Amino acid sequence: MDLSTTYLGMKLRSPLVCAASPLSQQLDNLKRMEDARASAVVLHSLFEEQLRQDTAELEDNLERGAFSSPEAMSYFPEVDNYKLGPQEYLALIERAKQAVGIPVIASLNACSAGGWTRYARAIQDAGADALELNIYHIPTDPAQTSADIEAMYLEIVRGVKSELTIPVAVKLSPFFTNFSNIAVRLVEAGAGGLVLFNRFYQPDIDLETLEVRPNILRSTPMALRLPLRWIAILYGRVQASLAGTSGVYFGGDALKLLLAGADVAMLCSVLLRDGIRQITSIERELVAWMEKHEYESVRQLKGSLSQMNCADPAAFERAQYMRAIISHPTPSAGPS
Amino acid sequence: MTDSHPSNGPLFATIDGNEAAAYVAYRVNEVMAIYPITPSSPIAEWCDQWASEGKPNLWGTIPSIVEMQSEGGAAGAVHGSLQTGALSTTFTASQGLLLMIPNMFKIAGELLPAVFHVTARTVATHALSIFGDHSDVMAARSTGWAMLAAGSVQETMDLALIAQAAALRARLPFIHFFDGFRTSHEVAKIQLIPDAVMRELMDDDEIAEWRGHAMTPDHPVLRGTAQNPDAFFQGREAANPVYDICPDIVQQVMEEFGKRTGRHYKPFDYVGAPDAERVLVIMGSGAEVAQEAVEFLNRRGEKLGLIKVRLYRPFDGERFVQALPPSAKAVAVLDRTKEPGATGEPLYQDCVTALVEHRLDGPGGSRQPAVIVGGRYGLSSKEFTPAMVKAVFDNLAERTPKNHFTVGINDDVSFTSLTVDPEFSTEPDDVIRAVFYGLGSDGTVGANKNSIKIIGENTANCAQGYFVYDSKKSGSMTVSHLRFGKQPIHSSYLITRANFVACHQPEFLERYDLLRHLVPGGAFLLNSPCSKDEIWPRLPTPVQKALLERKARFHVIDATSVARASGMGGRINTIMQVCFFALSGVLPRDEAIDAIKESIRKTYGRKGEEVVRKNLQAVDNTLANLFEVPLTGGVNGAGGFHPPISPDAPPFVREVLGELAAGCGDELPVSAFPRDGTFPTATSQYEKRNLALDIPVWNEAICIQCLKCVAMCPHAAIRAKVCDPANLEGAPPTLKSAAARAPEWKGMRLVLQVAAEDCTGCVLCVEVCPVRDKTENKRKALNLQPQAPLRMAERANWKFFLGLPELDRRKINPTLLRQQQVMQPLFEFSGACAGCGETPYLKLLTQLFGDRAIIANATGCSSIYGGNLPTTPYAKNAEGRGPAWCNSLFEDNAEFGLGYRISLDKQRELAGELLRKLAGSLGDELVAALLKPSETDEAGIAERRARVAVLKLKLQHLDSPEANLLLSLADQLVRKSVWIVGGDGWAYDIGYGGLDHVLASGRDVNTLVLDTEVYSNTGGQMSKSTPRGAVAKFAAGGKPGRKKDLGLIAMAYGNIYVACVAMGAKDDQTLKAFVEAESYPGPSLILAYSPCIAQGIALDIGASARQQKMVVDCGQWLLYRFDPRRAERGENPLQLDSPPPKTSVLDYLLSENRFKMLTLSKPESARQLFAEAAADDADRRKLYEFMQSRTFKAQAPEPAGQKIPIAAESPGT
């Protein structure tokens, strides 16, 4: 069975890629991902904001109470080698490249104009095969227009792309007025691939403590539906790789993304929940289905059920929503 | 440390005395056994840091550094290390040196070459002092160690090496000492000793020869024999030749050192006129001051001389006499110590003896002055100035000079003091002298140290910096004294004539006369939110007058706004530093700015690009916001200075403590002070510090009256009272009250009141308030509002509140926090850090038992905020009762507290015996009632007090010796609550042996361990309580081992009440533990989790309770109570009060800098140690659950309170 696919210009032995997750912080896990037959790995994101926060916190903590007593002019030992910059991340890229044979894709979330290009260059220099830009922006200013926001995204991609020779993918949220439009423009700006979609951690309210808390939930199989739709719509319309992420738990989920037009399916929650070895069983399920349905290669099935190629293009549009409502069974009134 | 090496010349560095000593000690030793003690701790910290960075010594190896449990342990370890052939050292001071003395006798007796570097510090007598004098090294005189005294930072480096080389050659141990703080903490530009020079002086053959003498089974010997009258004496005399040649060896090494460095020393260095008639003899930093004075006076035509004593032991009398010019007619010997009852202080006695024994007649004449007198100066770092030196010389010029005098104080009791001319100054005009007033944590001191380095590195100038702190840990004022000049600076005293004065905190201007030392035409820089056009009329009137009189150049900057605009938060240090360089002219302005920027890149580079960027931004923003204020306004200021002490205070507090608080303590005469160190309690109430910018304001409408805010307030600045509505008549209009919610108090009013002027603004009360406003969730029943507009109204409210009657303690359920917290705290307004995690426990102790408590307090934070002058926090109730408090030492606190118990019990026993004897006169009923065991509840205590009052009345009418004796003992019939209080450094480390013995004694003592898991007071060194993975000094790579389980060890005895509490996590459990511990008639131990600034948490913004909750919720700190009385009843004595962990240990660890910083410095170690820490917690939980699951059978009446005999004397003597 030929599982090979091409993503960001890189030939991969299968369409199963490990998405950015905390698992990739440890080198051992990267090796285990390769052993479990992942075809590429996206490292966890380098968050510029986190680096800045760490720096500010450290500065604050080391200075607190300093020189306020003749007996204690400081409360911590002097340390000269804090790893406050991206050094640890860059070192991980270097070590990952030495440790595994599969492509290593770095991920970057920066919060300043200079940060995107500075860190992107460093990541390329450290040997990453590609870079995924994790653009994370929750607009809260009512005065900011959607055009402003889109322009900002495009500027980031242009800026980073102008500095790099390695391919650049963009991981996006679905929250755009016309997603197809921004997708096309991002590709024009230099994005070699689109990763659909970024999941934001949504806040929750604790009813007991009446506190607002970030609530970290793993994706559910239902989350697959959103990337599935947009990959199907974008397939053939953008000249870029498409990666589907969110809600891939079984071989069938990956297949659906591929049929819709994805070049790769990215795995995250399933690995956090069931372990890295789950990649192997997803591949096994993928192969079993393809054998059963007599497909010879991933290339063959990729995009075959995209909006462009499927028998019912309208199924990916709003009309299907109406039918779904109409066909939904009415709940019973329950026992009287 | 930054080295500079201009054009292949000498290598310079701008460092302090401690670093200078460490620089040499680290290079020439292989083993260091260390223990923190002020002011020597930084020497060990430097060495530990260099070792953790992998820095090699002279022989290319990284010295082994081990922290011990006490100085006694450190000396023992060094002794063993020396005997087995490793070059070994330690660093200490004061009590620490005294603890080393037993081993020092051994080390000297065995002729082992070592150097102990000692920051000479006052030994505690009537009071503890962390400051400098020679009482500690003088106490070690008899050990047989050689002693070398350094007087400056340069000499500290030089003599550190000379001592080491001489020790090896002479085969004798050396104490190398320099003055605590004055030299140990003075920053100066000095020449470094090149490694090559050290290598040459450390003779390999001598080292090899000594090492060949070490103990080894390959050629075994026996040392440390026991000898009898037939042998010991001769053996002791056998070493005499070693001492005889030691001075020659020291001289020889000094000469070798001089040849290589150009810096020449002698055992006795003479400075001054060759034909001097009056000569001063002195050692330490005072010699520097004396040199400045002698040279100044000789330039005016005097003929004065000075002998600087370098080699104090062995005291070479002949050399000393030879050092005196034959012209000397009168000699004064100054000692920085006091030996009460002696015929004179030690150096004086040595000099007198030398002159008697070595009458030298030579070609120049006889060296036998007609007069020799001795005097004392500078105890506990009391200022020693050229004016005082002049006073000593003036005394020598008298027909009958005063002997055994003092200088620097006004002794109006024994009239020993010399008169000093306060106007006399030797400060040269070409020295720039700058004084900066800052707040402890505002970065002023750090920035000034940085400025000294910048000037030291970028100019040929000599530089000196010295830093003075006030006695409080929160809101403390720091005063930086900086000098820069072309010539070497010998001025080891504070600046009193400043060219430049800077006030970094505008509120200081209202409280202190900051301009008193500004010279005419000098510059005054003020950080103020007021603009240059607004500032003048807002200045206090005396400040306006001083500026006008001195024709000062006055500049103002709103540094706080500039800091915020530059992204620096509230940190103004860089901004004020730029202003100093811009105004002082010490460097050309552009050059200075470039140098500051370069220094920022160097200093902050390790903390990340962002910090560097912000600081550079701040530099650029500063000059545009620095404005000169023209002195065109008249005297129209905002009034005088605020009094430091309330005018309502009693006379002693006002006239003595008030002067100390105002910074004028040096002016107080001897007669102002008690002879035995006894001071009144309840004095902190009179020192209104107004530290809080915002204070809590009560919303009585939504308050549920849980009183958690009152319980957690570290400063007793928020309190509750319950009273009859009638009591509120005449209350100030803004005083708030609410109907008391407790059913028992129906119809009464509850008043929750803030002491606005005592609050530190730590926000903890707001943080712990569980109430949420239903319409605006962020608002609570306490909300912050700016203090200044509320100050006057709240002052009146507080006064009224204090006048409300206390609720009858018999009406309060002491185990319900919401009731118990109306009890009056008898610990208030301490100088502890804002948000301190320790003080709420002490406050609780005093609320519950304060009126009958007697406290033994180990040295540490709790003894400093508990007992540091000027004002102290232990208080009294309306009857005049309150905790009696004493600090003995660090190492002996448990034993000291046990002493209380034994004494009180004995007196009570005697009172009982007398009662029985006098029963006929006193009445059987009264006697029988008083002979019954004491009640432990409030009703019982009140009843017993009433009976004792009756007894005393009756006794006053019985005129017999027995009745009089019983009268003096009658109060002992009311049970006293003995508390032994200290930190983890005491309980887990230095005092553990004693604590263990006291707990095992079975006596009724209560032990409270304020466990911050680190040596907090000395600046965050690792203790055995430090948890695995925490970064601390001496554990820069994270503590590798697990925390000692002191509670488990204590529980093993079976008859000790043990509780582990965290008030911020579970206050009701804490309360129960205190009540149970105190009521238990045997020993009790409470381990109280105490968040501390040294853990790297934001205590000053209320983090204490949150961190306590986190540490308990994740299972890292277990709450439990172990009550032996339960075992008597057939119940398991252990009650685990912590539910199973519900949060992740890792989340907790990452919330505190002590752990998180390891992820930034050594991420791999962090991962491993944190995983191990989580495993520790799980293991411990399992063990405790197992212990809790064991079944018990009811026992015969228990050994609770049973007396286990205490060994009368230690075995083996």
Query: pLDDT per residue over B30-70, tens digit each?
Result: 999 999 999 999 999 999 999 999 999 999 999 999 999 99
DSSP track, A219-270: --GGGGHHHHHHHHHHTTTSSSEEEEESS--SHHHHHHHHHHT-SEEEE-HH
Distance CA B409, CA B382 (A): 9
Q: Which residues pair with B853 in a beta bridge?
A: B977
Mean pLDDT of B1044-1066: 98
Instruction: Establish if B1163 touches chain A: CB-CB under 8 angstroms.
Output: yes
Do B1161 and A71 make contact, defined as CB atoms within 8 angstroms? no
**Chain B hits for A114, Cβ within 8 Å:** none
Instruction: Report pLDDT digits (tens) over B518-550.
Output: 999 999 999 999 999 999 999 999 999 999 999
Mean pLDDT of B197-223: 96
pLDDT of residue B118: 98
Distance CA B1107, CA B1094 (A): 13
CB atoms < 10 A from the CB of B1090, how many?
Answer: 27
Distance CA B1094, CA B1025 (A): 13
Instruction: Report pLDDT digits (tens) over B754-778.
Output: 999 999 999 999 999 999 999 999 9
Distance CA B84, CA A258 (A): 74
- The DSSP element (H or E) to which A7 belongs, if any, is strand A5-7
Instruction: Establish if B444 touches chain A: CB-CB under 8 angstroms.
Output: yes
Mean pLDDT of B939-958: 95
Distance CA B78, CA B816 (A): 53
Residue of B nearest to A49 (CA): B610
Instruction: Report pLDDT digits (tens) over B728-757.
Output: 999 999 999 999 999 999 999 999 999 999
Distance CA B998, CA B1004 (A): 10
pLDDT of residue B475: 77
Evaluate whether B509 touches B438 at the Cβ level (below 8 Å). Answer: no
Reference B77, options B106, B57, B55, B52; nearest CA is B106
| Length of chain A as a residue count | 336
Confidence at B1210, pLDDT banded by 50, 70, 90 = very low
Reference B515, options B641, B331, B636; nearest CA is B641
pLDDT of residue B602: 83
Q: Which residue among A67, A77, A82 places its CB closest to the CB of B607?
A: A82
- Chain A, chain B: beta-carbon pairs less than 8 Å apart: 154
Share of chain A above pLDDT 90, in %: 63
Across chain A, what does the average pLDDT equal? 89
Q: Is the ipTM of this complex over 0.95?
A: no
Across chain B, what does the average pLDDT equal? 94
pLDDT of residue A330: 52
Do A64 and B1100 make contact, defined as CB atoms within 8 angstroms? yes
Instruction: Establish if B1011 touches chain A: CB-CB under 8 angstroms.
Output: no
pLDDT of residue B458: 82
Alpha-carbon distances of B160 from B21, B31, B62, B313, rounded to whole Å? 6, 16, 19, 15
Q: Which of A170-184, B600-614, B672-686, B696-710 has the lowest mean pLDDT?
A: B600-614
CB atoms < 10 A from the CB of B274, how many?
Answer: 11
Residue of A nearest to B466 (CA): A70
**Chain A hits for B441, Cβ within 8 Å:** 63-68
Higher-scoring residue by pLDDT: A204, B170: B170
> What is the β-pairing status of strands B146-150 and B749-754?
unpaired
Mean pLDDT of B660-671: 94
Confidence at A216, pLDDT banded by 50, 70, 90 = low
Mean pLDDT of B437-466: 90
The nearest CA of chain B is from the CA of A73 a distance in Å of 7
Higher-scoring residue by pLDDT: B1058, A246: B1058
Do B1160 and A59 make contact, defined as CB atoms within 8 angstroms? no
Phi (first) and psi of residue B827, to 5 degrees? -150, 110
| Percentages (nearest 5) of helix, strand, coil residues in chain A | 45, 15, 40
Instruction: Establish if B219 touches chain A: CB-CB under 8 angstroms.
Output: no
CATH topology assigned to domain A5-308 = TIM Barrel (3.20.20)
Do A58 and B469 make contact, defined as CB atoms within 8 angstroms? no
Residue of B nearest to A52 (CA): B610
Instruction: Report pLDDT digits (tens) over A44-75.
Output: 999 888 888 888 888 888 888 888 889 998 99
Q: Which residue among B467, B1020, B1160 places its CB closest to the CB of A83?
A: B1160
The nearest CA of chain A is from the CA of B816 a distance in Å of 23
CB contact residues (below 8 A), chain B span 1015-1034, against chain A? 1016-1020, 1031-1034
Q: Which residue among B476, B604, B1161 places its CB closest to the CB of A69?
A: B476
Instruction: Report pLDDT digits (tens) over A93-133.
Output: 999 999 999 999 999 998 777 888 999 999 999 999 999 99
Instruction: Report pLDDT digits (tens) over B165-174.
Output: 999 999 999 9
Confidence at B320, pLDDT banded by 50, 70, 90 = very high
Instruction: Establish if B19 touches chain A: CB-CB under 8 angstroms.
Output: no
Do B441 and A66 make contact, defined as CB atoms within 8 angstroms? yes
Q: Which residues contact B541 (CB under 8 A, 6 or more apart)?
A: B635, B636, B637, B638, B639, B640
Do B130 and A69 make contact, defined as CB atoms within 8 angstroms? no
Known catalytic residues of B are 38, 71, 121, 1017
Confidence at B362, pLDDT banded by 50, 70, 90 = low
Q: Which residue among B439, B607, B833 places its CB closest to the CB of A84?
A: B607
Residues of A with CB under 8 A from a CB of B: 51-52, 54-85, 88, 210
The nearest CA of chain A is from the CA of B443 a distance in Å of 7
Helices within B497-636 (DSSP H only)? 508-511, 535-538, 541-549, 559-565, 573-584, 589-604, 609-622
Q: Which residue among B185, B864, B1093 places its CB closest to the CB of A75?
A: B1093
**Chain A hits for B610, Cβ within 8 Å:** 51-52, 55-56
Q: Is the pLDDT of residue B491 over 70?
A: yes
Instruction: Establish if B247 touches chain A: CB-CB under 8 angstroms.
Output: no
Distance CA B614, CA B571 (A): 11
Do B441 and A52 make contact, defined as CB atoms within 8 angstroms? no
Reference B330, options B276, B385, B389; nearest CA is B276
Residue of A nearest to B570 (CA): A60
Residue entry with tokens 């380098």: A46
Q: Which of B72-76, B551-555, B687-691 has the lowest mean pLDDT?
A: B687-691
Residue entry with tokens 């085969």: B171
Residue entry with tokens 């301190």: B836
pLDDT of residue A318: 55
Do A76 and B473 make contact, defined as CB atoms within 8 angstroms? no
Q: Which of B1093, B1101, B1144 to mutate to test the interface with A (most CBs of A within 10 A)?
A: B1093
The nearest CA of chain B is from the CA of A25 a distance in Å of 11
Residue of A nearest to B470 (CA): A69
Q: Which residue among A77, A81, A82 places its CB closest to the CB of B45?
A: A77
Q: Is the pLDDT of residue B136 over 70?
A: yes
Confidence at A218, pLDDT banded by 50, 70, 90 = confident
What tokens appear for A292 in the block?
Answer: 């059963």
Higher-scoring residue by pLDDT: B634, A315: B634
Confidence at A333, pLDDT banded by 50, 70, 90 = very low
Residue of A nearest to B52 (CA): A79
Do B607 and A210 make contact, defined as CB atoms within 8 angstroms? no
- For Cα atoms B938, B943, B949, give the angle at the middle one, nearest 5 degrees: 125
Q: Report CA Rg, chain B.
A: 32
**Chain A hits for B439, Cβ within 8 Å:** 68
**Chain B hits for A60, Cβ within 8 Å:** 569, 1098
pLDDT of residue B1048: 98
Instruction: Report pLDDT digits (tens) over B330-341.
Output: 999 999 999 999
CB atoms < 10 A from the CB of B792, how many?
Answer: 11
Do A69 and B445 make contact, defined as CB atoms within 8 angstroms? no
Do A77 and B49 make contact, defined as CB atoms within 8 angstroms? yes
Distance CA B1049, CA B1044 (A): 9
Instruction: Report pLDDT digits (tens) over B222-266.
Output: 999 999 999 999 999 999 999 999 999 999 999 999 999 999 999
Q: Is the pLDDT of residue B2 over 70?
A: no
Q: Which residue among A55, A63, A81 places its CB closest to the CB of B608?
A: A55
Helices B573-584, B609-622: axis angle to 10 degrees equals 40
- Domain range list for chain A: 5-308
pLDDT of residue B8: 57
Reference A56, options B1096, B610, B1149, B575; nearest CA is B610
Do B608 and A59 make contact, defined as CB atoms within 8 angstroms? yes
Instruction: Establish if B877 touches chain A: CB-CB under 8 angstroms.
Output: no
> What is the β-pairing status of strands B1120-1122 and B1134-1136?
antiparallel
pLDDT of residue A51: 83
Q: Which residues contact A173 (CB under 8 A, 6 or more apart)?
A: A136, A197, A198, A200
